[in-house]
Each structure stands twice: as structure tokens, then as C-alpha cells.
Amino acid sequence: MKIFIDPGHGGSDPGAVGMNGTRESDVALKTGTELKNLLKSCGFAVRMSRETDIDVSLTGRTELANKFGADIFVSIHCNGFTNPTACGSEVYSFPGNAEAKRLSEILLWHICNGLGTNSRGVKKENFAVLRMSKMPAVLVETAFITNPDEEKMMSEADFFKKAACAMAKGICEYCGINADFPAEVKEHWAKTYLDSLIRKGYIESPNLWERFEETPTIAMILALADKITGQ
């Protein structure tokens, strides 16, 4: 599988800038670079639209992806708004592209789950990079750089690895690949199943993971079985 990563903005275009000076172009590049390394270690072939702080045109970005013959195009951005209370994550796909929509739904869930951000939902937009890419393409708005709490989150050291890990999990799920993640981001083998059950609505408690070593009672098993067979 070939993945094309497009860190938004760069060079003369910093994108949105937070109140403490955090630049969208820098966050996108650092997140994209982490994602590239992680996906490569999982066996994906990866290209990026830019690996440094340079200008790349929108056409240039999609041309690189099309030439590479990517299976998936992921553009990484951070949101910005005049009202600093705006917060959360959203993922865009091109209107009418069902595969891109499926990818956007899976990615958004993993991003919100991994970063603890609230979901603003999947959205459709006629963005140039989504329109001109020949493969399923999505544009991720990781969080709001103009929101003080989310800007702070983006300036913390472990943010880029966390965001990249969430996106890599989403990409693996979309591709149907059970990837072997490197030790530092590797989770308990059963965590994937827990996440999946929470996402499908069978389990409500996100704190269940902390009780993971508990022995289940027959009552718990029956309740879960009823939920699953009842749908």
C-alpha cells in the first residue's frame, strides 16, 4: 500500500497561527513526519508533499501523489477560527466519493479517541487537493490552533506521536491491515477490539480499559451478548 501524506501550508504560508505563536504549517509538518516514520515501520510505502518548511502549490501536491500512484491521500491541517472557544477535530472528503468518506469516518474516530478531542463530524468540501487527487483523499483538521487549550496540546512533546499513531491506526483499519506497531506505541493486543466495540456502540464506558485485568462476571458477559445479538 502506498500512502501520500500532505502537510498543509509551508514556506511563505504559515496557515493559521495560535495566540502563543504556534504555526499550523509546523504542526502539520511534524505530525506528517511522525506519521511517515510510523507507517514506514509498519511496511507502507510513503511519500510526502514536503519534508521541510517550503512552499508547494496545491497542484504540485496532487501531481506528486498521482505520479506516486498513492492508494490514499491524507492532507494534515489544524483548524483556525476567530472565536477562541471553537474546538475539536473534523475530517473532509470530496462530495460523492464514498471511499474517501469511509476513510474520513474511520480517521476521525481514531483521532478523537487518540487525542481526546471532540468530534465535529465528517464533512464534505470541494477542496482542490481532494478534487485533483486520483485516489481516496481526505483533509484532516486535527484540532483548533486558535483554541488556547488545543494550541497548548499541540505544543506538548508527545502530541505529534499521539496524532500520528491515531492516524496510522485509522489508515491500517481502512486498509484492513493488522500492522505491527513499534514498541513505543504498541498497545495491548486487545485494545483494538475494545476500541472497535466502543465505536460500534456495544460498550459505553471508555474507562473500561483501566479495569481491563478484572475477571468478568457472568452478568457482564450476558449483558454484552444481549447488546450484540440485539442489534
Catalytic residue list = 141
Rounded to a whole number of angstroms, the minimum distance from the CB of residue 55 to Zn ion is 14
Chain positions contacting Zn ion, by CB under 5 A: 8, 15, 77
- Minimum Å gap between C-beta 24 and Zn ion is 5
Identity of the residue, 112 or 129, whose beta carbon is nearer to Zn ion in the bound complex: 129
Cβ nearer to Zn ion, comparing 125 with 187? 125
Q: Among 90, 104, 89, 109, which Cα is nearest to 198's? A: 109
Looking at beta carbons only, is 15 or 18 nearer to Zn ion? 15
The grid cell for 65 is 501523489
Sequence-separated (6 or more) residues with CB below 8 Å from residue 153: 115, 143, 159
CA gap 141, 86 in Å, rounded: 12
Q: Would you say 18 and 145 are in contact if contact means Cβ atoms under 8 Å apart?
A: yes
Cβ-closest position to Zn ion: 77
Go through 62-76 and write b for each residue having 16 or more CB atoms within 10 A of its CB, e for each that does not: bebbeebebbbbbbb
75/97 with CB nearer Zn ion = 75
Whole-number minimum distance, CB 78 to Zn ion, in Å? 7
Please state the closest distance from residue 8 (CB atom) to Zn ion, in A: 4
